Structure 1
């Protein structure tokens, strides 16, 4: 299974939609109109509309927002941010060095220091 990228979106080929259909869905997800997507891909506006209609039919939706949402739900497309976060989380889980591990803050030490200082102040006053 190979991947496509367009602006800030990635798509997985071989999961039910043709390559051009996935490109059109990613263009819609990026906020482009059919005319803007046609200019971007160097095709006619009608070609984009036909590809979006084919994708909508395959996914069983009517509106463009539904098309993007259904494609995301099925894992056909995803924002690159999600992919990057998954890679970073996987790296941090697999890393053995102390530098990449997430550690808890020192709230407990601060609270212990405050309690100790209050006790010292109470002894000094008495």
Structure 2
């Protein structure tokens, strides 16, 4: 029996989900989406620039892309990466703010 063990990783205002990408690959993809260069990514995740380069190559392969901009587009399109604020709250935590604001007349 296979168990789905997706992890959520947050990087600034972005969140990513493991599954298609391994954790290290996802961290690199999140950093690329945040606009970081390879050396900046290496500092941010605590690894060598050569490790970052290999991780990015694996992400390119897994997402079937050949550029950083295509990586960003494909990662968002597939839902691998989202803006942290874009994740909807659980139904039991949603408030009915509209009904408290007054009457809407069209």
Q: TM-score, normalised by structure 1?
A: 0.69
* Offset at residue 46 of structure 1 (A): 1.1
Structure with max Cα Rg: 1
SS at match of 1:87: coil
Which residue pairs with 1:121 in the alignment?
A: none
Instruction: Give the structure with the larger helix fraction.
Output: 1
Which consecutive unaligned segments of at least 5 residues does structure 1 have? 109-126
* Offset at residue 96 of structure 1 (A): 9.0
Which residue pairs with 1:17 in the alignment?
A: 21
Q: Which one of 48, 60, 70 corresponds to residue 64 of structure 2? A: 60
Which fold has the larger relative contact order, with Cα–Cα distance below 8 Å and residues 6 or more apart in sequence? 2
Instruction: Output the CA distance in 2 between the equivalents of 1:19 and 1:102.
Output: 46
Instruction: Output the CA distance in 2 between the equivalents of 1:102 and 1:50.
Output: 55
Q: Which one of 18, 28, 32 corresponds to residue 36 of structure 2? A: 32
Instruction: Output the CA distance in 1 between the equivalents of 2:102 and 2:16.
Output: 31
What is the root-mean-square deviation of aligned Cα atoms in Å?
2.6
Q: TM-score, normalised by structure 2?
A: 0.81
Matches for 1:81-92 after TM superposition, within 5 Å: 81-83=85-87, 86-87=88-89, 91-92=94-95
SS at match of 2:89: helix
Which consecutive unaligned segments of at least 5 residues does structure 2 have? 1-5
Instruction: Output the CA distance in 1 between the equivalents of 2:40 and 2:74.
Output: 22
Q: Which runs of 4+ in 1 moved over 6 A?
A: none
Which residue pairs with 2:54 in the alignment?
A: 50
